Amino acid sequence: MVLGWTASECAKWIEQYKQLEQRPSEALQEKSGSSNSSYLETATDILTTIKGISKTDAVTLVTAFGSIAAIAEASESELLLLPGFGETKTRKLIEAFRQPFVL
């Protein structure tokens, strides 16, 4: 299963997978950076895929809430209290987490 924000993002992941299909698993780990990246780096990579969320915003979110799960469950009023989060950015973030996954 491949999950992404858009069909083109899913297509890029499938294309990358096909290019690395015959390589050992270590090559995939090196490519994704999963062996050396911290939770903050991984969470930042995930959150910055949402339009309007910068790296600074992502660090602010993870620092304030501690996890992506907690960010997804945060209320609008909690998000609006964060520095740099106005109504538009908060709305986009909430919409990103509330959208149903389409299979």
* CATH code (residue 55): 1.10.150.20
**pTM: predicted TM-score of the whole model, two decimal places:** 0.64
Are 27 and 62 in the same domain?
A: no
30 and 64 both lie in a single domain: no
Do 31 and 58 have their domain in common? Answer: no
Q: How far apart are CA 100 and CA 94, in angstroms?
A: 12
54 conformational bin, left if phi > 0, alpha if psi -120 to 50, beta if neither: beta
For the chain, what is the domain count?
A: 2
Residue 57: give the domain boundaries.
Answer: 37-103
Q: Are 45 and 66 contained in the same domain?
A: yes
Does residue 32 share a domain with residue 61?
no
Question: Are residues 41 and 86 both part of a single domain?
Answer: yes
User: pLDDT band at 17, cuts 50/70/90?
Assistant: confident
Higher pLDDT: 83 or 7? It is: 83
- The reply to whether 72 and 26 lie within a common domain is no
Share of the chain above pLDDT 70, in %: 85
For 29-67, the pLDDT digits (tens) are: 655 544 445 888 989 998 999 999 999 999 999 999 999
pLDDT at 89 over 90: yes
Residues 77 and 103 in one domain: yes
Per-residue pLDDT at 8: 84
* Three-class secondary structure of residue 51 per DSSP: coil
